[in-house]
Amino acid sequence: MYLFPVLLIFYFGYGKLNIQASAIALFCILLLSKAVYTAYVTGSGLFSTLTFSNEWMMIAIIPLLYLYNGQRGRKSRFNKYLFYVIYPIHLWILMIMRFILIGQS
């Protein structure tokens, strides 16, 4: 549900970086205000509401939009398979750390 507006922003703002960044920021501010209003109306804590209604954190992609130069990165066999290896390994490391710190529950 939240990705459809983002899809429209990137589709209609293609090639217009400032429009994309402004629209994403506005959308995230609307999502944040909705989450704060929900926390206020329901009486639940703001922290718990923002933890589970975290779509407003898409605002963090704006710096990455400005860093992208429109060119594809270096193409090598190492770069291609690096992410296929790093992702599962980091999940295993996080799981092991959880078992060490919290225990098996």
Confidence class for position 93, pLDDT limits 50, 70, 90: very high
pLDDT at 84 over 90: no
Half-sphere exposure of 15 (CA within 13 A, CB side): 0
* Average pLDDT estimate for 22-35: 92
Residue 78: the pLDDT is: 83
**Mean pLDDT in the chain?**
87
Confidence class for position 105, pLDDT limits 50, 70, 90: low
Confidence class for position 12, pLDDT limits 50, 70, 90: very high
Distances (CA, A) of 100 to 20, 28, 76, 92, 103: 43, 36, 37, 12, 6
Find, among 33, 32, 26, 35, the residue nearest to 5 by Cα. 26
93 token code pair: 């490391």
| Residue 86 backbone zone (phi > 0: left; psi -120 to 50: alpha; other: beta) | alpha
Confidence class for position 23, pLDDT limits 50, 70, 90: very high
Q: How many residues does the chain have?
A: 105
pLDDT at 102 over 90: no
* Average pLDDT estimate for 12-26: 92
Residue 71: the pLDDT is: 84
